Amino acid sequence: MSIQALLDEIEILKQEYEKFERGNKSAGTRARKSLQNIKKLSQDIRVQIQDAKKSE
């Protein structure tokens, strides 16, 4: 996992949320899915950081 993957997912969230605010209800579902992906990517990055700290 990388920071770039997280940033890409944040961009997807931004686009879908903007669509949702304009009234596209299905974009809300995609935005929630993107938020879930961000949560997973964030946790993976946290684990990588912790592992790197432990190996020093």
Residue-wise pLDDT tens digits, 15-44: 999 999 999 999 999 999 999 999 999 999
CA 41 – CA 49 distance, rounded (Å): 12
Please indicate, yes or no, whether the overall pTM of this predicted structure exceeds 0.85: yes
CB 45 within 8 A of CB 3: yes
